[in-house]
């Protein structure tokens, strides 16, 4: 099983690669595409590094030739102040990188069987209480536009006979990265609070399920097009706040009583604050209809597991240092 993961050194990439290793073991030939030569050396021995900046230029076709799957996760972080320069980096690292990758498929004698391309629930924009499935139309705003362009570039690979799945990730909850690393310490200090009214919907997914759904899409040959990578039970921001406070052993009533006005985030992140304030009630219709079974369908268990893993990582670090 030959799998190439672009942007695979990151939070999601490493989780997906570990799931691949657990599934295929010694049959797995994993290549990780990274821009950083110095960090490439830190990858586990069973991951072969390939140093290339896919947003800068078309990679050599030998990288993807005959691959069973290519997973493209490359993308500049969206959690930053959206200046014009940052927006350009956010766009280029997704849209140009995907265009260059698909061009390498075109040049390959044997293009890969499947391309799983990252996208995000940001595709749907700010949608209040509306239930959103893969068939729902896109929303408005910068992130939605980026996701639409990103998916358009990925879908071009289907003209070459490649099966394409655009994985619209919700907020991925896992220890050691992503949303949890930014938010959990605030709750541990007892400073957690809901955002604004707390009525906005949060579509989350545990990292084991995010990786599990990517593998599900690789294995199920009938799957193609958009796939919402979210748990079946989205919650409001108020419910998320309450559950997170409880998971870290802090009083939940205080966290749901207090609220941070959205303008505070706008001061810090500008237009980028919309990531924290937008409401998206997204459902995993395709994954459920194709038989995916969630390990963490409920938020409470998901957050308690993440908290446990985070504590275990901290303890392991303390013992080695
Ligand atoms: N985590 C989430 O909650 C979440 C939610 C929705 C969507 N997503 C999307 O899923 C993908 C993977 O997410 P992640 O959490 O694993 O992110 P991550 O840990 O930041 O990894 C993304 C990788 O993209 C590469 N990258 C970063 N900036 C880049 C740039 N300017 N140009 C080219 N490559 C760049 C980096 O690889 P190197 O430095 O090794 O080259 C990095 O390891 C991203 O595209 C993200 O937008 C994630």
pTM of the complete model: 0.96
Domain boundaries, the chain: 2-170+206-230+282-293
Distance 71 CA to ligand 1 centre (A): 12
Q: How confident is the model at residue 257 (pLDDT cuts 50, 70, 90)?
A: confident
Distance between start and end Cα atoms, the chain: 37
Report the percent of the chain where pLDDT is more than 90: 79
Contact predicate 216/287, CB 8 Å:
yes
How many other CB atoms are found less than 10 A from the CB of residue 47?
24
Protein residue closest via CA to atom 47 of ligand 1: 75
pLDDT at 266 over 80: no
Mutate to test the pocket of ligand 1, among 74, 88, 90, 120 (most ligand atoms within 8 A of CB): 74
Minimal-distance CA residue to ligand 1 atom 21: 10
Which ligand 1 atom sits nearest the alpha carbon of residue 39?
Answer: 40
Residues within 6 Å of ligand 1 by CB: 7, 9-13, 34-36, 55, 73-77, 89, 93, 97, 118, 120, 169, 171-172, 177-179
Of 35-49, 158-172, 221-235, 298-312, the poorest mean pLDDT is in 35-49
Hey, what CATH topology would domain 2-170+206-230+282-293 get? Rossmann fold (3.40.50)
Indicate which residue's Cα is closest to atom 36 of ligand 1. Answer: 7
CA of 75 to the centre of ligand 1 (A): 4
- Tell me what the mean pLDDT of segment 255-269 comes to: 80
Instruction: Label residue 264 by pLDDT band (50, 70, 90).
Output: confident
Handedness of CA 87, 88, 90, 96 (dihedral sign): positive
The protein residue with its alpha carbon nearest to ligand 1, atom 24, reads 74
- Tell the residue nearest (CA) to atom 2 of ligand 1: 172
Per-residue confidence (pLDDT) for residue 104, from 0 to 100 = 98
Mutate to test the pocket of ligand 1, among 34, 73, 179, 275 (most ligand atoms within 8 A of CB): 73
Tell me 62's DSSP state.
G
CA-derived radius of gyration, the chain: 19
Using 50, 70 and 90 to split pLDDT, how confident is the model at 258? confident
Give backbone dihedrals phi and psi of 264, rounded to 5 degrees, phi first: -60, -45
> What share of residues in the chain are helix, strand, coil (percent, to 5)?
50, 20, 35
CA of 108 to the centre of ligand 1 (A): 25
Contacts of 303 (CB under 8 A, 6+ apart): 173, 243, 244, 247
The alpha carbon of 8 and the centre of ligand 1 are apart by a number of angstroms equal to 8
Q: Report how far residue 202's alpha carbon sits from residue 204's, in angstroms, rounded to the nearest whole number.
A: 6
Q: Which residue has the higher pLDDT, 193 or 34?
A: 34
């Amino acid at each position: 099983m030959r799998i190439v993961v672009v942007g695979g050194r990151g939070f999601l990439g490493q989780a997906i690669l570990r799931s691949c290793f657990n599934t295929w073991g010694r049959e797995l030939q994993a290549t990780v595409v990274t821009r950083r030569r110095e960090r490439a050396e830190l990858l586990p021995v069973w991951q072969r590094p390939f140093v290339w900046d896919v947003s800068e230029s078309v990679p050599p076709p030998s990288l993807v030739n005959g691959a069973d799957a290519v997973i493209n996760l490359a993308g500049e972080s969206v959690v930053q102040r959206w200046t014009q320069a940052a927006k350009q980096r956010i766009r280029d690292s997704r849209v140009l990188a995907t265009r260059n990758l698909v061009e390498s498929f075109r040049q390959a004698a044997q293009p890969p069987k499947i391309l799983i391309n990252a996208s995000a629930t940001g595709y749907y924009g700010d949608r209040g209480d509306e239930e959103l499935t893969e068939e729902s139309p896109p929303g408005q705003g910068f992130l939605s536009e980026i996701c639409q362009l990103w998916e358009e570039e990925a879908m071009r690979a289907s003209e070459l006979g490649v099966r394409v799945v655009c994985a619209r990730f919700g907020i991925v909850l896992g220890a050691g990265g992503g949303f949890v690393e930014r938010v959990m310490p605030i709750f541990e200090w007892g400073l957690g609070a809901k955002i604004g009214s707390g009525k906005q919907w949060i579509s989350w997914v545990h990292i084991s399920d995010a990786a599990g759904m990517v593998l599900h899409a690789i294995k199920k040959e009938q799957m193609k097009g958009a796939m919402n990578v979210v748990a079946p039970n989205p919650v409001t921001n108020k419910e998320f706040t309450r559950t997170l406070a409880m998971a870290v052993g802090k009083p939940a009533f205080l966290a749901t009583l207090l609220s941070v006005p959205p303008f505070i985030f706008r001061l810090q992140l500008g237009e980028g604050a919309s990531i924290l304030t937008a409401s998206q009630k997204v459902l995993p219709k395709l994954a459920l209809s194709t038989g995916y079974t969630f390990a963490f369908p409920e938020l409470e268990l998901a957050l308690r597991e993440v908290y446990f893993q985070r504590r275990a990582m901290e303890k392991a670090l303390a013992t080695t240092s």
